Amino acid sequence: MRLVIARCSVDYAGKLTAHLPMAPRLVLIKADGSVSVHADDRAYKPLNWMNPPCSLREEPFEENGAVARWTVTHGKSGERLILTIEEILHDTSHELGLDPGLQKDGVEAHLQELLAEHITTLGDGWTLVRREFPTAIGPVDILCRDAGSATVAVEIKRRGEIDGVEQLTRYLDLLNRDPHLAPVRGIFAAQEIKPQARVLALDRGIDCVTLDYDALRGIEHEGTLF
């Protein structure tokens, strides 16, 4: 990973256009080729970003006080992020190595195990390919095929929030580069899915499924005591 703190402006050129005026920002360039631009707020959410596959070209650019221009180009769509740099305040690189992936708590791990055993919960005729299907950025909880033999990646959470949708999005981006698997669609499955996470998932073409933990374990509730 390369970490750069620079005073820069950012222009996006693609289906739409967007402009970030000159200001100090954090630029992350990851080993998978992704580039993201961050401010000192908004938690983990970047101001703008480019998912892989993409390339970064750095070149001198002396105009209106700028010293360099970085152009990030997406390898498929041709969309571009153009960073006009006035000053680089910090530039360092670190080799992080292979990430072992998120370690789930007991409930999430058991949900994964139960859903794999009862994969037809997702639909009649569905079949399991593998639990913990490996990718370069960590294992996908469940890889399966639907009744039409299309590949489906399932990310399982106890509580479904936006970061889980982002995680599944990254997995889908990688899986869809494999011609033996593509096209791969996603399912975000959890006991509870936050409204914001559901909106983001549906916007990205990811289906949402609410899991009933007791039903997967074969426990039936005949009534509720108040």
Single pTM value for the model: 0.55
Give the pLDDT of residue 220. 54
Q: Does domain 106-216 have CATH number 3.40.1350.10?
A: yes
What does the domain layout of the chain look like in residue ranges?
A: 2-93, 106-216
> What pLDDT, on a 0 to 100 scale, did the predictor assign at position 221?
41
Whether the ω angle into residue 53 lies within 30 degrees of 0, i.e. cis, is yes
Kindly calculate the radius of gyration of the chain based on its CA atoms and give it in whole angstroms.
21
Can the peptide bond before residue 183 be classed as cis, meaning omega within 30 degrees of 0?
Answer: yes
pLDDT at 100: 63
Give yes or no for a contact between 13 and 79, defined as CB atoms under 8 angstroms apart.
yes
pLDDT of residue 219: 62
CB atoms under 10 Å from CB of 101, counted, come to 15
Topology annotation, domain 2-93: Protein Yojf; Chain: A; (2.70.180)
84: phi > 0 → left, psi -120 to 50 → alpha, else beta; which?
beta
CA dist 119 and 117 (Å) reads 6
* pLDDT tens-digit profile, the chain (226 residues): 999 999 999 999 988 889 999 999 999 999 888 999 999 887 778 999 998 889 999 999 999 999 999 999 998 889 999 999 999 999 999 988 766 665 555 578 888 899 999 999 999 999 999 999 998 888 999 999 999 999 999 999 989 999 999 999 999 999 999 999 999 999 999 999 999 999 999 999 999 999 887 788 776 544 333 2
pLDDT at 104: 53
Place of tokens 């949900």: 111
**What is the reported pLDDT for 29?**
95
pLDDT for 213 equals 77
pLDDT given at position 106: 52
